[in-house]
Amino acid sequence: MHRENIIKELSFKAIRSSGAGGQHVNKTSSKIELTFDLQNSLSLTESEKILLKDKLSSKLTKENVLILFCEETRSQHKNKELAIKRFLSLLKTNLTRKKKRKPTKPSRASLKRKAESKQRNSLKKALRKKLKLA
């Protein structure tokens, strides 16, 4: 994955932001909509595309387009930077494969310690009981 190439494939659209902000919000388009066409990306390999389709399935449209919104600041440029950062971190986290867990056995010494501790507890509790006289 080459960062510069992927950023060139992004498309941006400025939209009027919602929420509080008075007149400023009514006259400026500071909300950014970032779209990335995963299917037609030239920067990603086929295996990366498959992995991302699987992991980002809830965030993708039917045409495999990823859409992110950012309206945190009043500045369109800052929102654009934030959207790019979010996009890159989303790719980075979803392209890393988790290490496969290697099953391990408890060591012989730890099994012995466990058995001895069970034996001690068993004896301790057995000594608490009242003796039955026959």
The per-residue pLDDT for range 39-86, each reduced to its tens digit, is 888 888 888 888 888 888 888 888 888 888 898 888 888 999 999 999
> What confidence score (pLDDT) does residue 116 get?
97
Kindly list the distances between the CA atom of residue 129 and the CA atoms of 6, 56, 112, 123, in Å, as whole numbers in the listed order: 73, 61, 26, 10
> What confidence score (pLDDT) does residue 134 get?
66
Query: In this structure, what token pair is assigned to residue 21?
Result: 């902000």
Model-level pTM? 0.66
* Residue 59 belongs to a domain: yes
Find the domain containing 33 and state its range. 3-95
Q: Over pLDDT 70: what percentage of the chain?
A: 93
35, 11 contact by CB (below 8 A): yes
CATH assignment of the domain containing 84: 3.30.160.20
* Residue 111 belongs to a domain: no
Q: What is the mean pLDDT of the chain?
A: 86
Q: What is the mean pLDDT of residues 8-24?
A: 78
Beta bridge partners of 63: none
The number of domains in the chain is 1
User: Taking Cα atoms as reference points, which of 53, 70, 67, 68 lies closest to residue 18?
Assistant: 70
* Residue 71 belongs to a domain: yes
* Residue 41 belongs to a domain: yes
Q: How confident is the model at residue 2 (pLDDT cuts 50, 70, 90)?
A: low
* Residue 133 belongs to a domain: no
Q: For residues 23 and 26, give the distance between their C-alpha atoms in angstroms, rounded to a whole number.
A: 5
* Residue 63 belongs to a domain: yes
Q: Over pLDDT 90: what percentage of the chain?
A: 27
Q: What is the distance in angstroms between the CA of the first residue and the CA of the last residue of the chain?
A: 82
User: Per this entry, what is the length of the chain?
Assistant: 134
* Residue 73 belongs to a domain: yes
